[in-house]
């Protein structure tokens, strides 16, 4: 039976390294999995507190283009180290209305951020291999590469700790697998803790092509800190026609919320990611993904397109 | 820092008072051809000055000394829209209890140069040297400079 499971794992490793390494399966000792992806996220809507969708206030639009490196390394056969490092180009735009001499003027204001985002590091420990593969993962998220004063915040600017249980099952002789994960994310500052869940299914299509569908969910634990009274923020510009200084006053909370609507203090969100993988060589493969956000509360949905290149190295492999 | 502000203020005042081309600008909308101009701005007021630069850069460019009689958000702007393609500039300082802030802006007409500065309690003063840096056309060159203080 042990030999049969080993063969199954070997077949899956050979057939779709991304699929198995991203889930409950640990990388063998000395194996390396690296993925460099270019992602483009855009949104102009938000989920309300009752889950319906509405446009972002003032015609706001938000773009997040990022290049992210995700890597896994097998420290031991049952212990895998992982990390994720994103570099982001963010753009947030809104229309502001001001009244000058009884004339209402609309001005488009755009904010940018260009820099690193939240860095994540994790350790995954394999627990069981029968009757399904099970593991536990500890994750640490660090926000030390940016400050809370960025024009557009790339993250919530606080550290997170997460514990996650992962399960995976090969569907052999059907050329596919499925996985499920549950986790709890502790957040150190104002945002609420989160319950995480994930359902995943992957299969070989034909030839070098494989498909992966993943539902990645977040459920707020509704224990966010109460927001203190917002500090007023003054911004000003000179009206070209009159030379008059126009001062606009807003609150820091609304400006922060409008600058990056994909962040939230306490929100629910479901992400549905569909990925097509193409195995180029034994070690290299390419991926194309499209992500939608079918349900949620108090956060922006959007659309995300991704392309990625994956390198897998296993020193046990010939 | 306070001493530096006082020294700058005294030097600028001396320069203004000793200059022959000194001209006070009292109204909120004024015209000038003089090299040195003095005015003041109060909270809620926009001082608009139509400038006629009668000689070429650098000696023909005007200097403005503006007393700021109150705290608020000051906007200094230069607008030239009568012809396109002329390089324009404004250089100077704004000094108040909130600090001394340089004003350095350059651009090309048609267009507006502007800078926003926060003025601290007790008011302050502005010195700006501005004008048309180059033009294929002969002088005079027309432009508008505005000082606006929002409370």
DSSP secondary structure of A153-192? -SS-SS-EEEEEEEEEEE-TTSSEEEEEEEEEEEESSSSP
Quote the pLDDT of residue A56. 87
A244, part of any domain: no
CB B64 within 8 A of CB B77: no
Q: Within a domain: residue A259?
A: yes
- Which CATH number is correct for B2-150, 1.20.140.10, 3.40.640.10, 2.60.120.380, 3.30.590.10? 2.60.120.380
Question: Which residues on chain A are in Cβ contact (under 8 Å) with B146?
Answer: 238, 242-244
Q: Determine, for residues A237 and B144 on separate chains, whether the beta-carbon distance falls below 8 Å.
A: no
Q: If you average pLDDT over residues A265-280, what whole number do you get?
A: 94
Q: Is A248 inside a domain boundary?
A: no
DSSP state of A243: -
Query: Does residue A232 sit within a domain?
Result: no
- Whether pLDDT at A18 is above 50: no
Domains of chain B by residue range: 2-150
- The answer, as to whether pTM is greater than 0.90, is no
Q: How many CB pairs under 8 A join A and B?
A: 45
Q: Any CB–CB contact under 8 A between A242 and chain B?
A: yes
> Alpha-carbon distance A160 to A187, whole Å?
5
Query: Residue A39: its pLDDT value, please?
Result: 96
pLDDT tens profile A85-129: 999 999 888 887 666 566 666 777 788 888 889 999 999 999 999
How high is the pLDDT of residue B62?
93
Order of all β-strands in the sheet with B22-24: B22-24, B36-41, B62-68, B124-132, B87-96, B99-108
Q: A52-80 pLDDT, tens per residue? A: 898 888 888 999 999 999 999 999 999 99
> Residues of B68-103 as b/e, b for ≥16 C-beta within 10 angstroms?
bbbbbbbbbbbbbeeeeebebbbbbbbbbeeeebeb
Instruction: Tell me which of A98, A101, A233, A243 to substitute to probe the interface with B (most B C-beta atoms closer than 10 Å).
Output: A243
Cβ-defined contact of B73 to A245 (cutoff 8 Å): yes
Cα separations (Å) of A125 from A4, A16, A27, A135, B1? 22, 21, 10, 5, 60
The helix or strand, by DSSP H or E, that contains position A14, with its residue range, turns out to be helix A2-15
Q: What is the pLDDT of residue A14?
A: 38
Which residue in the block uniquely carries the two structure tokens 């488009």?
A108
The Cα–Cα gap between A155 and A163 comes to: 20
CA–CA gap between residue B42 and residue B11 (Å, rounded): 23
pLDDT at residue B1 is higher than 70: no
| Residue A245 placed within a domain | no
| B19 pLDDT higher than 50 | no
Work out the minimum CA distance from A237 to partner chain B, whole angstroms. 7
> Hey, are the CB atoms on B79 and A245 less than 8 Å from each other?
no
Nearest to A244 among B79, B144, B148 (CB): B148
Q: Which residues contact B6 (CB under 8 A, 6 or more apart)?
A: none
Q: Do B46 and A237 touch (CB under 8 A)?
A: no
Taking 3-state DSSP, the helix, strand and coil percentages for chain B, each rounded to the nearest 5, stand at: 10, 55, 30
- Chain A CB contacts of B148 under 8 Å are 238, 243-245
**Does ipTM top 0.90?**
no
CA distances (Å), B145 to each of A295, B47, B135, in order?
A: 54, 8, 18
- As for how many domains chain A has, the answer is 1
Residue A163 within a domain: yes
Q: What is the CATH number of the domain that holds A87?
A: 2.40.128.130
Containing domain of residue A198, as a range? 2-96+107-225+255-313
pLDDT at B25: 54
State the nearest Cα–Cα gap between B57 and chain A, in angstroms.
24
Q: Which residues of A touch B119 (CB under 8 A)?
A: none
Q: Is residue A212 part of a domain?
A: yes
Instruction: Report which of A209, A206, A187, A188 is spatially closest to residue A196, judged by C-alpha positions.
Output: A187
């Amino acid at each position: 039976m042990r030999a049969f499971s080993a063969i199954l794992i070997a077949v899956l490793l050979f057939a779709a390294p991304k699929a198995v390494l991203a889930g409950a399966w640990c990388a063998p000792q000395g194996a390396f999995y690296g993925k460099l992806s270019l992602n483009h996220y855009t949104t102009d809507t938000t989920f309300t507190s009752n889950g319906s969708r509405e446009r972002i206030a003032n015609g706001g639009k938000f773009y997040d283009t990022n290049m992210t490196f995700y890597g896994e390394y097998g420290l031991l056969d049952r212990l895998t180290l992982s990390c994720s490092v994103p570099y982001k180009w963010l753009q947030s735009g809104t229309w502001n209305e001001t009244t000058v001499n009884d004339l209402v003027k609309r001005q488009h204001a755009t904010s940018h951020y260009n820099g690193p985002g939240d860095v994540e590091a994790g350790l995954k420990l394999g627990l069981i291999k029968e009757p399904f593969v099970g593991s536990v993962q500890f994750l640490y998220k660090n926000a030390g590469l940016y400050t809370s004063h960025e024009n557009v915040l790339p993250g919530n600017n606080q550290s997170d700790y997460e514990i996650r249980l992962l399960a995976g099952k090969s569907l052999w002789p059907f050329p596919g697998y499925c996985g499920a994960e549950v986790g709890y994310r502790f957040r150190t500052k104002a945002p609420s803790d989160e319950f995480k869940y994930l359902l995943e299914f992957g299969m070989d299509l034909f030839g070098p092509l494989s498909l992966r569908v993943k539902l990645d969910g977040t459920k707020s634990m509704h224990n966010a800190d109460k927001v203190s009274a917002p500090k007023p923020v003054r911004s000003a510009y000179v009206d070209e026609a009159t030379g008059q200084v126009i001062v606009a006053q807003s609150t820091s909370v609304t400006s922060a919320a409008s600058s990056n609507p994909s962040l939230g203090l306490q929100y629910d969100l479901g992400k549905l990611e569909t990925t097509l993988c193409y195995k180029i060589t034994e070690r290299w493969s390419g991926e194309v993904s499209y992500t939608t956000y079918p349900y949620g509360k108090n956060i922006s949905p959007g659309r995300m397109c991704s392309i990625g290149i994956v390198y897998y190295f296993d020193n046990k492999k010939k | 820092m306070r001493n530096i502000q006082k020294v700058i203020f005294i030097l600028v005042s001396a320069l203004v008072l000793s200059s022959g081309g000194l001209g006070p600008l009292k109204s909120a909308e004024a015209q000038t051809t003089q090299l040195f101009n003095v005015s003041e701005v109060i909270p809620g007021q926009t001082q608009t000055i139509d400038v006629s630069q009668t000689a070429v850069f650098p000696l023909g460019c005007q200097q403005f000394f503006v007393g700021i009689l109150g705290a608020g958000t000051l906007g200094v702007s230069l607008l030239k829209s009568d012809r396109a393609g002329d390089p324009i500039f404004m250089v100077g300082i704004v000094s108040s209890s909130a600090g001394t802030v340089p004003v350095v802006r350059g651009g090309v007409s048609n267009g507006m140069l502007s800078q926003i500065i926060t003025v601290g309690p007790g008011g302050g003063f502005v010195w700006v040297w501005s004008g048309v840096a180059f033009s294929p056309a002969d002088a005079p060159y027309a432009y508008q400079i505005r000082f606006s203080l929002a409370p």
